[in-house]
Structure 1
């Protein structure tokens, strides 16, 4: 009988201790979850504060594009004002991110490095031009403007930016096709293929130059 009583007592002590440890573990998990939520909220607040800084947006756009990750580019640009220029800016930046990634793949596949180096140089030039467009959007919103209330001249300027950005996207897509075909040929190129690649790269350079000149005028 005494053994039975002792067993019950020991079981009750074990059950109490086990329940205590379970509650402590739950409390710790809740505290950790709360801390993560607070950290995420603080990070989001900091990000929202930075998105209003034109200089930060430009630098972040360049950084995410150089990483070659279109999803990161999308996450950034979608925070900009939902004006008609935003979608063309997003498409152009996504294509430039794709080209950045593709250039690295092309190097490994044996595509002529002189071509991919010139492509990277064009991407860098494009980033400067895209930076100017993003800064323009953020700066105009700082002045309290909305798209429908903008004067005729700023609207025209932003529409011109959108058209130039669309041309960059078209040219970038063409260059990407050439890289894909060059990789499929084992990096070999020549004749008509080389000529087409040069023409598409030149078209990309011209589109970037037009956007740059427009933002400098």
Structure 2
């Protein structure tokens, strides 16, 4: 069945309400160090401590970048209810990924298809949420995408404080000033080995933790 005429309007209206709520609750400050906000194809890669991370980066981006940037979303979590599925599909235009590999399926294929269409992405190279002060070792996905799409700009980002907005076990969000710091782009150097690149990418994210603090 074709979508009703009102659904895009509802998604747009709810998107603005959600944006206003997130910015009121967290401030959603964007700090651009090393690169300006620019409408070019990018992969933003960041630390990951909360399910709200994708919402935080989305809210921190200026409007012209939100429209061309798609966050990745864990399918098992973000499709548990029709509301979550609708929000991630209609508002964020998210790319769903499987956290558990199924058979011979390539878990990066949905991301590759989005990049082939010219979309920008928000990814979390740790793969799962961490609870330590520093990110977990990055998994191979970022390296494989950089190898396959060498012209896409890779921008590190550090998300600060968002895990404190919704502490574990709480159902009511706590107003906390949060920020996303975007750093200087990196690139996969010719002949660079996978682990060396992933460690360097992780270091680029960690280096942003205290920038402007």
TM-score (ref. length: structure 2): 0.30
Q: Which has the larger radius of gyration?
A: 1
Report the structure, 1 or 2, having the larger strand content: 2
Q: TM-score, normalised by structure 1?
A: 0.29
Higher relative contact order (CA 8 A, sep 6+): 2
